[in-house]
Chain A
Amino acid sequence: MALPAYADRWERIWHWVYLTFCTLVFLFLLLPVLVVVPLSFNAEPYFSFTEGMLTLDPAAYSLRWYRDILQNGMADPTQLFSGWSWIGDAWANSQWIHAAKNSIVIAIGATILSTLLGTVAALGLSQSILPGRRLIMALLISPMIVPIIVTSTSLYFLFSEIGLANTYLGLIVAHAILGTPFVVITVTSTLSGFDRSLIRAGQSLGASPLVVFQRVIMPLILPGILSGALFAFGTSFDEVVAVIFLADYDQRTIPRQMWSGLREQISPTILAVATILVAMSILLLTVVELLRRRSERLRGLTS
């Protein structure tokens, strides 16, 4: 966005004000996320940069909070990294590992459930012939609009009655409800961009409907399904309100553990966990972006 040669003085000043403002907003967006990264390597139990950190003194940095992620809850924390027995101890007793296992199990379960249901529904929704299509669509995406507190408390009452409270299945169901709208939306929009003459082309070239589905339809909508699934995974992995209402300690997830940490006694261990989560979100973002570009490249032909 270069300034044109005819710009007058005020326009030039305005242009620079505008660019400065945008730069500040970008910093506002990114800095708070990144500030936890160096602080998680603090050797001291503080939430601020120490003198030593600012002068880049190696002694001011440490991995103690990362070790603490493993040690917290271990039967014998002193044995960390000595021999092999600590692995079993950490796997069985460490609070954060317990939470991570729960997070992954629940997120994978919710992702599978919401992707399956959402993709099949999107196949039906993409047919204009479906009666009451607008209403059905509105119902299917309503979990996105209803406040999470209303959803969570409603499920709390239902699950108490039908015995799903404080179970993995209950959490998987709850997170699948929250994740399906993303799957429905991404897959429907992929299908709406799908050129139906490709199906006819496949048939005219001698492929049976099954082969057309496998070799033409599936490869083209797969990126949409995958990015919907990633959205669902991300939603579940980050969700905490439903977990607060529907889980007890056994099903505690990483965000739930962070929630308690922040409410009770905040320790820099949370910063170490946060840093790991930031790294994960960078990974997730990269994958989604690659999928989006691939899908766009494939569709480049028709658009």
Chain B
Amino acid sequence: MEQGRSIVHFVNVGKTYDGERLIVDDLSLEIARGEFLTLLGPSGSGKTTTLMMLAGFETPTRGQILLNGQEINRLAPHRRGIGMVFQNYALFPHMTVAENLAFPLNVRALGKAEVEARVIRALDLVKLGGFAARRPAQLSGGQQQRIAVARALIFEPELVLMDEPLGALDKQLREGMQYEIRELHQRLGVTIVYVTHDQAEALTMSDRIAVFDQGKIQQLASPTELYEKPRTSFVANFVGDNNLMAAEVDTLRSDHLCSVVLEGGDKVIAVATDDLMPGQKVMLSLRPERLRLDPDAGAGTSSRLKGVIEEIVYLGDHMRIFVRTANQVRFLIKAANKEPHHGLTKGGMLTFGWSAQDCRALPV
């Protein structure tokens, strides 16, 4: 293992609670030093278990977890030196904010002056300078959250784990905190492993995202790649809105494109994401904002369909248009509110199209 680049290495890690069902199934994952990695997935997908194994609160049933090249499978949590932010913050209610922050320093037997200095610095870092003497119960949710982050960082761990840390906050506060955590990460250069089930949060914050389902990583990629080039229908469905349609490969083309037949017989061109065979069942993934209302205006439109407008939902910055084709295939179109869209009425006919590069045929 190359010491410099990778900080954590999961090698074929498996975890089962009952000897039958694998909560985490043959997981291999390398986490680069200094990166912000998000484990994203629905509840029960194994992401939290993975995090808990890394923190030391769960023991892998098989495989190895390496931290800086050393196996830590059987190392007690308190000897790992990994910072952690808990879902409900887990601030010690009987201690003041300052005592909470000083706790990891005191158990490491740091000098009094050093502890005080670091506590002050940590409070400044999370912009809560005047709150040292408060109890956690006297703080708002957002303030508790910041103290929890500060406490996980104060003993300067190389690695910090965050288990859905923003789950309990309301939407606005959450967005503010996302920005703050991101900024702290960039400023301190610490490695962060972040667990969430909120795909928007994952896209906003991460360097890389590991999408979990059924105990396996479905795709590990940067936010852009994950959104633009989902590799499985699960990822395509879980990350962002999507039009997902069952289809069958008709013919393969040389340039990674293929022609597929939708249910009902409409033929469209799509990117073949894998080695597909003619006749193979696939799932078509088509982002609703990539559908064009005026297919003839721009170049590159490779497929066109016509349908009846079933519903138009106005959302301020964009509109959602639900269309049903003659062959009973339903599409969702997101149209940016850049200019007035005239002639769109419920029950009216609409022609729409897309570029072949935006339509991905995923194996099922």
Contacts and interface: CB of A to CB of B under 8 A. Distances in A.
Nearest to B161: A204
A297 B136 CA distance: 10
A203 interface: yes
B60 interface: no
Contacts of B144: 301
A209 B76 CA distance: 10
20 contacts: A195-B88, A197-B86, A197-B87, A200-B55, A200-B84, A201-B90, A203-B76, A203-B77, A203-B78, A204-B161, A205-B78, A205-B103, A205-B151, A206-B81, A206-B104, A206-B108, A206-B155, A298-B94, A301-B136, A301-B137
Contacts of A220: 93-94
Interface string B83-99: 11011101111100000
Contact of A204 (B82, B136, B137): B82
Contacts of A215: 103
A100 B82 CA distance: 57
Contacts of B92: 198, 201-202, 216
A261 interface: no
Interface of B: 55-57, 76-84, 86-88, 90-94, 103-104, 107-108, 135-137, 144, 151-152, 155, 161
Contacts of A67: none
Nearest to B77: A203
Contact of B78 (A204, A298, A299, A300): A204
Contacts of A198: 90, 92-93
Contact of B55 (A204, A219, A299, A300): A204
A195 B90 contact: yes
A112 B57 CA distance: 35
Given A203-B76, A205-B151, A301-B144, 13 more contacts: A198-B90, A198-B93, A200-B55, A201-B84, A201-B86, A203-B56, A203-B78, A206-B107, A206-B108, A208-B107, A211-B107, A216-B92, A302-B88
Interface of A: 195, 197-198, 200-209, 211-212, 215-216, 219-220, 297-302
Contacts, number: 83
A198 B91 CA distance: 7
Nearest to B86: A197
Contacts of B83: 204-205
Contacts of B155: 205-206
A205 B94 CA distance: 16
A206 to B, nearest CB: 5
B104 A205 contact: yes
A297 B93 CA distance: 8
Contacts of A212: 78
Contacts of A207: 78, 103-104, 107
Contacts of B82: 204
A212 B57 CA distance: 15
A205 B137 contact: no
A212 to B, nearest CB: 8
A219 B136 CA distance: 15
A206 B82 CA distance: 8
A177 B103 CA distance: 40
A205 B93 contact: no
Nearest to A223: B94
Contacts of B88: 195, 197, 302
B194 to A, nearest CB: 15
Contacts of B55: 200, 204
B93 A301 contact: yes
Contacts of B90: 195, 197-198, 200-201
Q: Which of A202, A212, A219, A220 has the most CB of B within 10 A?
A: A202
A205 B87 contact: no
A92 to B, nearest CB: 46
Contacts of B103: 202, 205, 207, 215
B37 to A, nearest CB: 18
B56 to A, nearest CB: 7
A204 B153 CA distance: 11
B78 A301 contact: no
A301 B91 contact: yes
A204 B77 contact: yes
Contacts of A204: 55-56, 77-78, 80, 82-84, 152, 161
Nearest to B57: A200
A207 B81 CA distance: 10
Contacts of B84: 200-201, 204
> B55, B90, B152: which has the most chain A beta carbons within 10 Å?
B90
Nearest to B88: A197
Contacts of B56: 203-204
